[in-house]
């Protein structure tokens, strides 16, 4: 399996917190053969299109430059490659799905409730959240899990494109493994 991991971090130091743990999870996943790393400002579309899975990683609270460059990610939507967006990746997936980003600060441990069967999670669980934004609801997105404040896991209807608002690399690594299955 080839997994492309995309960083949305403006600062290289932020990648230690938001990208490296995800790369480690993917590399330790037993079926993974290759992990390709890309920064969103320097995407190699042909390499990414050869992937079996795509993961768009999160970033720090002050980063939001990626929101002004959504067109960079447009090819992922038409590729139909299963994609998981985490934190800022959640926002990117949602914007590709036609939603709007809205202000919603959530920091710390939150309770997440699963609303419907899905490949990423089930039941209720705690997750670590660190974000300034969430997304508006729309008919192109299915909300799979929520907190009391905002959608936490979404899926673009009719595509294998998922977004996770919280940081599964901190406490819920099985969500990333379930995505890779």
pTM: 0.91
Number of H-type helices and E-type strands within the chain: 7, 9
Residues of the chain under the 70 pLDDT cut: 30, 32, 61-62
Tell me the sheet residues that pair with 24: none
Residues 6 or more apart whose Cβ sits within 8 Å of residue 112: 121, 124, 125, 126, 127, 145, 146, 147, 152, 153, 166
Report the interhelical angle of 173-180 vs 20-28 (nearest 10°).
Answer: 50
**What is the Cα–Cα distance from 162 to 143, expressed in whole angstroms?**
10
**What is the Cα–Cα distance from 59 to 79, expressed in whole angstroms?**
24
Q: What is the pLDDT of residues 6-24, one digit of tens each?
A: 999 877 777 787 888 988 8
For residue 39, the 8-state DSSP code is: E
Query: DSSP assignment of 93-159, as one string?
Result: HHHHTT--EEEEEEEEEEEEEE-S--SS--SEEEEEEEEEEEE---TTEEEEEE-SSSEEEEEETTS
> What local confidence, expressed as pLDDT, does residue 95 receive?
87
> What local confidence, expressed as pLDDT, does residue 61 receive?
64
> What local confidence, expressed as pLDDT, does residue 174 receive?
94
Tell me the sheet residues that pair with 113: 124, 146
> What local confidence, expressed as pLDDT, does residue 122 receive?
93
> What local confidence, expressed as pLDDT, does residue 141 receive?
86
**Nearest to 168, CA basis, from 97, 110, 91:** 110
> What local confidence, expressed as pLDDT, does residue 6 receive?
93
């Amino acid at each position: 399996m080839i997994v492309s991991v995309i960083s949305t971090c403006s600062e290289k130091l932020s990648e230690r917190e938001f990208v490296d743990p995800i790369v480690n999870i993917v590399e330790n996943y037993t079926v993974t053969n290759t992990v390709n790393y890309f920064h969103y400002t320097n995407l190699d579309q042909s390499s990414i299109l050869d992937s079996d899975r795509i993961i768009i990683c999160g970033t720090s609270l002050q980063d939001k430059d990626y929101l002004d460059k959504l067109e960079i990610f447009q090819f992922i939507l038409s590729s139909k490659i299963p994609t998981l967006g985490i934190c800022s990746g959640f926002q990117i997936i949602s914007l590709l799905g036609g939603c709007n980003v809205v202000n919603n600060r959530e920091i710390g441990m939150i309770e997440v409730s699963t609303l419907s069967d899905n490949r990423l999670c089930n039941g209720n669980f705690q997750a670590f959240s660190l974000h300034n934004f969430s997304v508006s609801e729309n008919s192109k997105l299915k909300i799979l899990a929520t907190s009391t404040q905002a959608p936490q896991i979404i899926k673009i209807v009719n595509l294998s494109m998922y977004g996770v608002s919280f940081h599964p690399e901190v406490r819920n690594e099985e969500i990333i493994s379930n995505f890779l299955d």
